[in-house]
Amino acid sequence: MKDRIKDRWEDFHSGKGAANMALEWPDDYVVRFAKRWLADDTIRTVLDMNCGAGRHTALLAELSFAATGYDISDAALELAAGLAKKRGVTATFKQGPSQELPFADGAFDALVAWRTLHVFTLEELPAIIKGMCRVVRPGGRLLVSTRSDRNIYDEARLGTVVHRPTDLTLEQVQELFAGTTVEQVELSEFTSQNRKLRDSYWVISAVR
């Protein structure tokens, strides 16, 4: 099963799917929170989980964090390493599935998981979030973005993704992150096709 999932993401990052993504420029939310973290001397090591083509790994490295990009796809990591080189920064990259984070307990001061948790099933998410919390030290930070139940899709849009996303309600988000201190939950949304389609994401900031 994991091999099939890995193959799908290899195809995505090697083909047209990746070309349609914002491969270089970080999301404004991540920029904002990462710059807040700069003021905290205790935050130095940051994991970018499911880093994709590495736009946020590169940002974190540019801000002088010790950044690690982690992804199941070798093709994604090749893009990420290329972007870091292009930006003239150094980051660590490691390949593997999010279900099995190969890092020690408390290895990181913060973790970014941006627009990624919706790729897992609702049944998988508790264990994945538990693993995320395990690798972040007590008092460390988590910044997460995942799809909300306010999304409006059509079949053409769904045909461009690797799988049908898992959309979460606010209540499900609160339950999944009950083991952390959630500081902020808000919606980030944009529409297309004269508001017929909506992309809606929860943005969650939490303390381990």
Q: Angle between the 74-87 and 55-62 helix axes, to the nearest 10 degrees?
A: 30
**Residues 184, 125: contact at Cβ < 8 Å?**
no
Please check the confidence at residue 25 and state whether its pLDDT lies above 80: yes
Question: Mean pLDDT lowest for which of 22-26, 40-44, 66-70?
Answer: 22-26
If you count them, how many residues does the chain have? 208
| Total tally of structural domains belonging to the chain | 1
Q: Which of 11, 3, 7 is closest to 160 using CA atoms? A: 11
**Res. 34 pLDDT band, cuts 50 70 90:** very high
∠ Cα 63 17 112 (to 5°): 30
pLDDT band at 30 (very low <50, low <70, confident <90, very high): very high
Alpha-carbon distance of 92 to 54, in angstroms, equals 11
pLDDT of residue 165: 86
Asked if 203 and 185 touch (Cβ cutoff 8 Å), the reply is: yes
Residue 51, Cα to own-chain centre: how many angstroms?
A: 6
The CATH code of the domain that includes 27 is: 3.40.50.150
Residue 13 has pLDDT above 60, yes or no: no
Tens-digit pLDDT profile for residues 109-150: 999 999 999 999 999 999 999 999 999 999 999 999 999 999
Range of the domain at 189: 2-207
Q: Which residue has the higher pLDDT, 19 or 34?
A: 34
Does the pLDDT at position 6 exceed 80?
no
| CA gap 110, 206 in Å, rounded | 10
Q: pLDDT at position 16, please?
A: 46
